[in-house]
């Protein structure tokens, strides 16, 4: 279909908006209405009859039934925002890891029971058809899932917050395991259509690339710039409704898709070059083709920069269009009524793009434009790894975004002038704080642009925020201490407890009511019940059920049979050296070695599950996956090991897998090198579902331990400060030599016990452990890790004591709701007022 931003729709009715056309009859939320609607879609819309052998069409029919019930609430909410003329926040993110929508939408609308029963009467099991929905995997991991949880909480708190992102044609790759190695397969998630989105071509925007800046004098004699000879791309918005929890609010996630402009094609087509015309169409469409599968920055990729600018420009123009439709050309209150939250540096080019729009298109002068920009932008940092800080070559910017480069240079000049006033003559500080890193290949430091252009800079857990202020951004912290703040992450308890763990939901609701679903602090009221043997019994039975469900998944996807009587020890997250999956493997090998030596007195049977994707170019991470699989193979096929120890690697870890994993987990592995994991959010999902954590003092683990108490958390490892200290004189060979357990583990690895027919393949991993410069210091934490694991194993044998710990973990998870996180953002950064939807006819 051809797209063009102008006149996409000729007005249907010239004179008055037609009320009759847009009025909506509220749809029934009862079993009967839902069943009727479902049958209508199945037969009339989808054209299916009789028995149906696939789950796909019933899924589709139900999705449309649910979606219809979102529509009227969506409209009422958006109308209420317009009428209230409220302040709004625009959450800009290159990733929104939404997972599945059906179950979540039904939960939030309050129609799960009605739909389940209605379908059951038709002979359909809801859970079975819900499995047909592909995950919307438009994110890598933590940062993308955080954005999705934020949207859920904002809708529940009735905050006028809109998500802006990219509609990738291909989401996060599907991971297959072949001969123990990761193989990446494309994820064409839109293949069977997406019932949760609405295309809105009438709000398309034009995004420019290339060309050059041209300067001219305007009618008042002021020098102005325009960006000319550009190659433009269209941005088509697709909106997804984001329902709040049973409150009538439905917010919006707007994702942009790239398309070529008509005239662009035509021009070349008319010049007789059909193939070039098609090629340029492809160029445009390539921008939103694929999600970059790295969860730390991959530097300098031109297409990635195009994606970032495409998102920033289309979104800002959309906000400006909306503003003008409500306020005309008057920008006086723009800063008062808008906020842009930048999800890491990825959308930071928005700082320069807003300046460009305000100056070149809205004709504001620099100072006025700058005031608006740095009063509306706010930046969230998600990493402490210096190598993950985004930098872009100035050269690339000059070619792709010349006008934005002008603006960044000017921002930097004015910024450095301020620095020079504060620290006169201190050229070292000036150079350190420059947005432009000088050198043979000058680079733009995106984090510095974000800090300079924002009113707020936040980290995502207490320790992380402290380390930003004291380390990575210390110069900026000295300059603007008031900009820096912490916002500890959270997760939404609606998806991560109420939806994914129905057994526990029912028990908790029966005990303390359902207030916790929209106010997680209330969950602490189950704490006293930890003393109640009857309650513990039921808690135990639910956990066993969930472990059986998880065991079934593991058997289906790994071919390994987990025994639900064993302790389920789980580490699922992206594969990264700093997250230390390798340390986990060393412990597994240690347990295996104990079994082989007959050291199994008072043994606690254990099932170890690992899962996660490695960036396709991250060689060592991929080798860790291979090692896990080889170790699992050896252990699982050794009759002497039997049920004492089982190991599995779950392929294709994703949101919908975590929904089965976290309810069935006993022990949550959060074992990163202290000071490296900004926050972690998987740790919170496990805690909420009653797992105990074995972890280091890193990220939000520290706050989890504070909440649940040190008795119910298995702590090990060096602190961030001790790590820094020990680096000076770190000798892993010595540590290994002095630790009999670790020596035997290294021995097994080094003599190729797990790679009998693949000689030498694990050498890079072995070398990394023995390297005195190993940044992750595995050897330094091994002994205390093994101790903590032993304590966990001992505790597990005392079932009642374990259950008390499990109940208290759930009971103390109140802080880790994104409802709290969003409250904090709103109180200290956004300052939005909640707006109730207006029910309309």
Pick between residue 572 and residue 804 the one whose CB is nearest to ligand 26Q.
Answer: 572
Answer for which of 118, 141, 211, 453 binds ligand 26Q (CB under 6 A) is 141
Answer for which of 143, 551, 591, 742 binds ligand 26Q (CB under 6 A) is 143
Q: How many angstroms separate the most distant Cα atoms in the chain? A: 90
Is residue 720 at the binding interface for ligand 26Q, with CB under 6 A as the rule?
A: no
Selection from 809, 727, 787, 632 nearest residue 179 by Cα: 632
Answer for which of 675, 680, 717, 732 binds ligand 26Q (CB under 6 A) is 680
Q: Return d(Cα 533, Cα 803) in angstroms, integer.
A: 10
Answer for which of 196, 292, 473, 825 binds ligand 26Q (CB under 6 A) is 292
Let me know the angle formed at the C-alpha of 110 by 109 and 115, rounded to the nearest 5 degrees.
100
Query: Residue 308 Cβ, how far from ligand 26Q at the closest point, in Å?
Result: 8
Token pair of 122 as six digits? 């038709």
Answer for which of 133, 135, 677, 774 binds ligand 26Q (CB under 6 A) is 677
Is residue 675 at the binding interface for ligand 26Q, with CB under 6 A as the rule?
A: no
Residues 472-531 that bind ligand 26Q (CB under 6 A): 489
Answer for which of 199, 262, 267, 298 binds ligand 26Q (CB under 6 A) is 298
Binding region for ligand 26Q (CB under 6 A) out of 15-23, 51-59, 297-305, 505-513: 297-305
Q: Return d(Cα 662, Cα 609) in angstroms, integer.
A: 11
Place of tokens 């003008």: 324
Query: Residue 648 Cβ, how far from ligand 26Q at the closest point, in Å?
Result: 24
Token pair of 338 as six digits? 């808008």
Q: Return d(Cα 292, Cα 303) in angstroms, integer.
A: 10
What are the distances in angstroms from CA 328 to CA 10, 81, 202, 358? 22, 17, 19, 14
Query: At 690, is the secondary structure helix, strand, or coil?
Result: coil
Beta-sheet pairing, 136-138 with 161-166: unpaired
Which residues lie below 8 Å from residue 282, measured CB to CB, with a gap of 6+? none
Binding region for ligand 26Q (CB under 6 A) out of 139-147, 627-635, 638-646, 829-837: 139-147
Answer for which of 134, 699, 732, 814 binds ligand 26Q (CB under 6 A) is 699
Query: Residue 830 Cβ, how far from ligand 26Q at the closest point, in Å?
Result: 18
Q: At CB < 8 A and 24+ separation, what contacts does 109-117 make?
A: 109/29, 109/66, 109/69, 109/70, 109/243, 109/246, 110/29, 110/246, 111/29, 111/34, 111/66, 111/69, 114/29, 114/30, 114/31, 114/34, 115/31, 115/34, 115/38, 115/62, 115/65, 115/66, 117/31
Query: Residue 381 Cβ, how far from ligand 26Q at the closest point, in Å?
Result: 9
The answer to whether the beta carbons of residues 227 and 211 sit under 8 Å apart is: yes
Is residue 241 at the binding interface for ligand 26Q, with CB under 6 A as the rule?
A: no
The answer to whether the beta carbons of residues 712 and 691 sit under 8 Å apart is: no
Is residue 382 at the binding interface for ligand 26Q, with CB under 6 A as the rule?
A: yes
Binding region for ligand 26Q (CB under 6 A) out of 140-148, 275-283, 417-425, 447-455: 140-148
Pick between residue 260 and residue 489 the one whose CB is nearest to ligand 26Q.
Answer: 489
Query: Residue 578 Cβ, how far from ligand 26Q at the closest point, in Å?
Result: 9
What angle in degrees, to the nearest 10, is found between the helix axes of 799-811 and 533-558?
Answer: 90
Pick between residue 268 and residue 669 the one whose CB is nearest to ligand 26Q.
Answer: 669
- What is the distance, to the nearest Å, from the Cα of residue 129 to the centroid of all Cα atoms in its chain? 26
Query: Residue 569 Cβ, how far from ligand 26Q at the closest point, in Å?
Result: 21
Helix or strand (DSSP H, E) at 507: helix 502-512
The answer to whether the beta carbons of residues 512 and 523 sit under 8 Å apart is: yes
Query: Residue 297 Cβ, how far from ligand 26Q at the closest point, in Å?
Result: 4
Binding region for ligand 26Q (CB under 6 A) out of 179-187, 277-285, 291-299, 738-746: 291-299
Size of the site for ligand 26Q (CB under 6 A): 23
Is residue 294 at the binding interface for ligand 26Q, with CB under 6 A as the rule?
A: yes
Query: Residue 523 Cβ, how far from ligand 26Q at the closest point, in Å?
Result: 21
Which residues lie below 8 Å from residue 234, measured CB to CB, with a gap of 6+? 3, 4, 5, 204, 205, 206, 207, 258, 259, 260, 261, 284
Pick between residue 280 and residue 665 the one whose CB is nearest to ligand 26Q.
Answer: 665
Residues 540-599 that bind ligand 26Q (CB under 6 A): none
What are the distances in angstroms from CA 594 to CA 96, 599, 641, 745? 44, 5, 10, 10
Pick between residue 151 and residue 277 the one whose CB is nearest to ligand 26Q.
Answer: 151
- As annotated, the active-site residues are 382, 573-574, 579, 681, 685
Pick between residue 464 and residue 547 the one whose CB is nearest to ligand 26Q.
Answer: 464
Q: In the complex, which residues of this chain contact ligand 26Q (CB under 6 A)? A: 140-143, 146, 292, 294-298, 304, 382-383, 390, 460, 489, 677-681, 699
């Amino acid at each position: 279909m051809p797209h063009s931003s102008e006149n996409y729709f000729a007005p249907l009715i010239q004179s008055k908006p037609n009320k009759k056309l847009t009025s909506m009859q509220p749809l029934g939320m009862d079993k009967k209405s839902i069943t009727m609607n479902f049958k209508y879609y199945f037969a009339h819309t989808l054209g299916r009859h009789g028995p149906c052998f696939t789950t796909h069409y019933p899924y589709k029919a139900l999705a449309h039934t649910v979606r219809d019930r979102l529509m009227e609430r969506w409209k009422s909410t958006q109308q209420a925002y317009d009428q209230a003329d409220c302040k709004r926040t625009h959450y800009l993110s290159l990733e929104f890891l939404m997972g599945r929508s059906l179950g979540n939408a039904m939960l939030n609308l309050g129609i799960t029971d009605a739909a389940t029963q209605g379908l059951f009467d038709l002979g359909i099991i809801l859970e079975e058809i819900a499995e047909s929905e592909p995950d919307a995997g438009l994110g890598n991991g933590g940062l993308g899932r955080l954005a999705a949880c934020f949207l859920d909480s904002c809708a529940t708190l009735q905050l006028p917050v809109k998500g802006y992102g990219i509609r990738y044609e291909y989401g996060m790759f599907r991971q297959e395991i072949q001969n123990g190695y990761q193989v990446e397969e494309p994820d064409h998630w839109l293949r069977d259509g997406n019932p949760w989105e609405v295309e809105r071509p009438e709000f398309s925007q034009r995004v420019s690339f290339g060309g050059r800046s041209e300067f001219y004098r305007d009618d008042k004699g002021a020098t102005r710039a325009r960006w000319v000879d550009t190659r433009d791309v269209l941005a088509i918005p697709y909106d997804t409704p984001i329902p709040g929890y049973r409150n009538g609010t439905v917010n919006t996630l707007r994702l942009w898709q790239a398309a070529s402009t008509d005239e662009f094609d035509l021009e070349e087509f008319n010049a007789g070059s059909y193939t070039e015309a098609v090629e340029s169409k492809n160029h445009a469409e390539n921008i939103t083709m694929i999600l970059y599968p790295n969860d730390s920055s991959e530097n300098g990729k031109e297409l990635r920069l195009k994606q970032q600018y495409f998102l920033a420009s289309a979104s800002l123009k959309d906000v400006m269009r909306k503003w003008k439709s409500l306020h005309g050309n008057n920008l006086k209150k723009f800063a008062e009524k808008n906020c842009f939250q930048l999800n890491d540096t990825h959308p930071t080019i928005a700082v320069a793009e807003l300046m460009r729009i305000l100056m070149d298109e809205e004709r504001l002068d620099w100072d006025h434009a700058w005031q608006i920009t740095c009063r509306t932008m706010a930046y969230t940092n998600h990493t402490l790894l210096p190598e993950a800080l985004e930098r872009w070559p100035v050269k690339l910017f000059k070619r792709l975004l010349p006008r934005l480069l002008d603006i960044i240079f000017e921002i930097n000049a004015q910024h450095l002038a301020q620095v020079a006033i504060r620290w006169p003559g201190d050229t070292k500080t000036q150079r350190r704080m420059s947005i432009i890193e000088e050198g043979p290949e000058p680079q733009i430091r995106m984090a510095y642009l974000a800090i300079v252009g924002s009113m707020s800079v936040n980290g995502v857990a207490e320790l992380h925020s402290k380390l930003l202020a004291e380390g990575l951004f210390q110069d900026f912290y000295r300059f603007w201490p008031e900009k820096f703040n912490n916002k500890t992450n959270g997760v939404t308890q609606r998806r991560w407890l109420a939806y994914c763990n129905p057994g526990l939901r029912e028990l908790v609701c029966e005990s303390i009511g359902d207030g916790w679903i929209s106010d997680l602090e209330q969950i602490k009221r189950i704490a006293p019940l930890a003393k109640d043997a009857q309650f513990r019994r039921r808690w135990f039975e639910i956990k066993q059920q969930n472990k059986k469900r998880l065991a079934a998944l593991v058997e289906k996807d790994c071919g390994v049979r987990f025994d639900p009587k064993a302790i389920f020890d789980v580490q699922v997250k992206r594969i990264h050296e700093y997250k230390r999956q390798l340390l986990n493997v060393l412990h597994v090998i240690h347990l295996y070695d104990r079994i082989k030596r007959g050291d199994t007195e008072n043994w606690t049977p254990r099932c170890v599950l690992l899962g996660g994707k490695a960036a396709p170019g991250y060689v060592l991470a991929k080798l860790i996956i291979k090692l896990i699989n080889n170790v699992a193979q050896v252990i699982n096929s050794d009759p002497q090991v039997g049920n004492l120890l089982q190991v599995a690697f779950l392929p294709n870890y994703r949101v919908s897998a975590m929904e089965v994993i976290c309810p069935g987990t006993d022990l949550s592995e959060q074992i990163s090198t202290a000071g490296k994991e900004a926050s972690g959010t998987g740790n919170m999902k496990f805690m909420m579902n009653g797992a105990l954590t074995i972890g280091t003092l890193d990220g939000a683990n520290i706050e989890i331990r504070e909440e649940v108490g040190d008795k119910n958390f298995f702590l090990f490892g060096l602190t961030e400060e001790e790590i820094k200290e020990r680096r000076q004189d770190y000798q892993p060979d010595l540590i290994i030599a002095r630790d009999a357990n670790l020596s035997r583990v290294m021995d097994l690895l080094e003599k190729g016990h797990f790679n009998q027919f693949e000689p030498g393949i694990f050498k890079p991993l072995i070398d990394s452990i023995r390297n005195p410069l190993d940044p992750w210091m595995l050897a330094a934490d091994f002994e205390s890790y093994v101790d903590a694991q032993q304590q966990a194993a001992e505790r597990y044998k005392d079932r009642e004591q374990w259950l008390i710990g499990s109940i208290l973990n759930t009971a103390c998870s109140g802080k880790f709701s994104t409802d709290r996180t969003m409250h904090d953002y709103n109180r200290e950064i956004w300052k939005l007022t909640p707006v109730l939807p207006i029910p309309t006819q």
